[in-house]
Amino acid sequence: MIEFGHLTHAGLRRELNEDTYYGDAELGLWLVADGMGGHEYGEVASALAREAVVREVRRGTELPRAIQIADEDIIRASRQRHDTLPMGTTIVAARIEGRRFQVAWVGDSRVYLWRDGRLVQLSQDHSYVQELISQGTISIDQARHHPHRNVVTQALGVTDPDALKVETLSGELSPGMQLLLCSDGLTEEVDDRGIARVLAHHECSAQECVDGLVAAALDNGGSDNITVVLIRSLA
C-alpha cells in the first residue's frame, strides 16, 4: 500500500512556477520536472515532459524509454515554434510495481531513499559542480555555494536524443521506506541533514512531511521554484 504527498510552490523570488509534477498510485508513477528558467518556455517544457512520460507509461513503455520520447517531443515542439533558444527541463521519475521500484532521472532534480532512519541520495546530478565533485576538485559543501551550481549537463529538450543519458536505479521498497522526488528548489535551500530531520517525524503523514519540507525551503530563502513528492510504503 502506498501513501504519497505532493506540493509545488513558486518560491519567494519568482513570479512564474516552471516546475510540474505528477502522482498516480494506481498507475504506479510519480515524477517531478523542473523547467529551465534560463531558457524560454520552461513551464511548457516541463508540462510536455510530464504529458509524454504519463502517456508512454500508460501505453506500457518502460520508464527510461518514456523519458527519451519526452526529450524528442520537446525538441520537436521547440523546432515547430521556431524558438531562438531550446526550451528544456530536468526530470526525476519513479515507478512502483508491487514491492519493486525503479527511478530514472535527467538533470539535477533528485530522488532520495529513506530507509532505517537514514537518508540516501539515489540520483547523481547531471551538473557541472557534480563533475567537479567527482573529480575531487571541490567538496559537496563547496558545491552548495559554487557560482555555477545551477548549470546542468543534461536536460530534456536541450540534449540531443543520441547523447541523452537517462540514469536508472532499481530496488525493493519495503514497508517504512520512503522515496523523495524533488526539484533543486528544495535542495538549494535545505541540506540533506535538514531533509532527514523532517522525514524522521514518523507520526506525520506523507503530506505533512512534504508541507514541512517546502516550508523549510521558503524559510531559508525560497530562491527558486520548489516541488516535492514523497512516496511512502506502508505495511
Model confidence band, residue 132 (pLDDT cutoffs 50, 70, 90): low
- The CA distance from 4 to 132, in Å, is 34
The mean per-residue pLDDT over the stretch 152-172 comes to 95
Q: Is the pLDDT of residue 47 over 60?
A: yes
How far from the centroid of its chain's Cα atoms is residue 151's Cα? 15
Q: Is the pLDDT of residue 32 over 80?
A: yes
Tens digits of per-residue pLDDT, 83-116? 777 899 999 999 999 999 999 999 999 999 999 9
Inter-residue contact 41 to 83 (CB < 8 Å): yes
Helices 206-219 and 192-199 pack at an angle, to 10 degrees, of: 150
Global confidence as pTM: 0.93
- The CA distance from 133 to 116, in Å, is 27
Model confidence band, residue 190 (pLDDT cutoffs 50, 70, 90): very high
- The CA distance from 150 to 215, in Å, is 22
The mean per-residue pLDDT over the stretch 179-199 comes to 97
- The CA distance from 234 to 205, in Å, is 11
Q: How far is CA 163 from CA 48, 52, 106, 154, 184, in A?
A: 20, 19, 12, 9, 23
How far from the centroid of its chain's Cα atoms is residue 89's Cα? 10
Length of the chain: 235
Inter-residue contact 215 to 160 (CB < 8 Å): no
Domains detected in the chain: 12-180 (3.60.40.10)
Q: So what's the pLDDT on residue 130?
A: 65
Q: Is the pLDDT of residue 29 over 80?
A: yes
pLDDT cut 70: percent of the chain above it:
88
Residue of 235, 233, 157, 220 lying closest to 4 (CA atoms):
233
Give me the residues paired with residue 23 across strands: 30
